[in-house]
Amino acid sequence: MDDTILFLEKHAMERWRKGDPWGFAEISDRDIIYVDPGLTRPLLGFKEFEAHLKTLEGKVNYQGSEFIDPRVVIVGDAALLTYNYCSSIPNSEGVLTERTPWNATEVYFRRDAHWRIVHSHWSYTRHRLPANTEIPIPIENPPVEYQEVLGEVMALESAAMERWRKGDPRGFLEICAPEVTYFDTGTPQRINRREALKTEYAQREGKIFYDVMDFIDPRVQSCGDLVVLTYRFLSTWLGPDGSVSHRTPWNCTEVFTRIEGRWRILHTHWSYIRGERG
């Protein structure tokens, strides 16, 4: 099955790099959620995804297509594919020199005996914030109470984030699976396994502080013992008078799996909303 997932991805990518985005449409399901650097919010559902692909038809063309350390994890009828990717174009001498590195997270569910993408999150490797970003934010009044599986994973996520914003990243480590993988805005490649992530987080301990955290429109996609949690996030710093000093807008994908009855993070992908190539 690992080979099947990777074959589907590579075949769609071959068409993509030649200006044909419809290979990905053909293997995506009706409820796909799609995140990439050009968007101010995730695309929700196939109709929005299809409309986005139409704007790209014939406009993406490059020669070099490199899948770096692709990894497939099968959990029942769900599959998590993660990899670093490098697209490149040749210079005047035909040498592939202009390289664009990416982080890629793809989640497939098997439905009606076919593997289909239900979640896709792309970001530039080591990207940066743009000078200005305007993002649409839904207003929920009164605030929504998360129920069922969404409530379960959001309770874990928000508790860990409360510790994170006070300089303590260990809350996330405590809910990670041993084989967790990880992307964020500064990682040069995917981080593999909890021990490596622990080393990464040790460098951040006591250095990250902000005042207010906002989870925007969290959603889950479930298949047996695997759940994909998607949300946008605002980390906010306040001035001495309580006014907003500045905010950082994020996209987040968390893939949870159930281990011995408990939800554990199998994969994390953080990116800046409208993040620019570094």
DSSP 204-272: TTTT-B-SEEEEEEEEEEEETTEEEEEEEEEEEEE-TTSSEEEEEEEEEEEEEEEETTEEEEEEEEEEE
Rounded mean pLDDT of 76-94?
A: 89
User: What kind of architecture, by CATH, is found in domain 148-272?
Assistant: Roll (3.10)
Q: What's the pLDDT band for 138 if we cut at 50, 70, 90?
A: confident
Dihedral sign computed on CA atoms, order 201, 255, 215, 38: positive
Instruction: List C-alpha distances in Å: 274 to 48, 240, 251.
Output: 18, 29, 9
Rounded mean pLDDT of 134-141?
A: 83
Contacts of 52 (CB under 8 A, 6+ apart): 34, 39, 43
277 phi-psi bin (left φ>0, alpha ψ -120 to 50, beta other): beta
Residue 98, pLDDT score:
79
pTM of the model: 0.96
Q: Is the pLDDT of residue 1 over 70?
A: no
Least confident of 9-13, 54-58, 135-139, 262-266: 135-139
Amino acid at 2: D
Rounded mean pLDDT of 247-275?
A: 98
| CA neighbor of 277 nearest in space, from 83, 77, 129 | 129
Contact in structure between 220 and 231 (CB atoms under 8 Å): no
Rounded Cα–Cα distance for residues 30 and 116 (Å): 9
Residue 141, pLDDT score:
73
Residue 278, pLDDT score:
82
Q: Each residue of 200-233: pLDDT tens digit? A: 999 999 999 999 999 999 999 999 999 999 999 9
Contact in structure between 72 and 2 (CB atoms under 8 Å): yes
Q: What's the pLDDT band for 89 if we cut at 50, 70, 90?
A: confident
Residue 137, pLDDT score:
87
Q: Is the pLDDT of residue 2 over 80?
A: no
Element (H, E) at 116: strand 114-124
Domain ranges of the chain: 2-124, 148-272
Which structure tokens are listed for 7?
């074959």
Residue 92, pLDDT score:
64
CA-angle at 223, arms to 221 and 229, nearest 5°: 30
Rounded mean pLDDT of 7-28?
A: 97
- Residues of the chain with pLDDT > 70, as a percent, come to 98
Rounded Cα–Cα distance for residues 79 and 59 (Å): 30
Q: Using omega within 30 degrees of 0 as the cis cutoff, is the peptide bond preceding 249 cis?
A: no
Q: What's the pLDDT band for 94 if we cut at 50, 70, 90?
A: low
Residue 93, pLDDT score:
67
Which structure tokens are listed for 62?
């490059």
Residue 60, pLDDT score:
93
Residue 198, pLDDT score:
98
| Fold entry, domain 2-124 | Nuclear Transport Factor 2; Chain: A, (3.10.450)
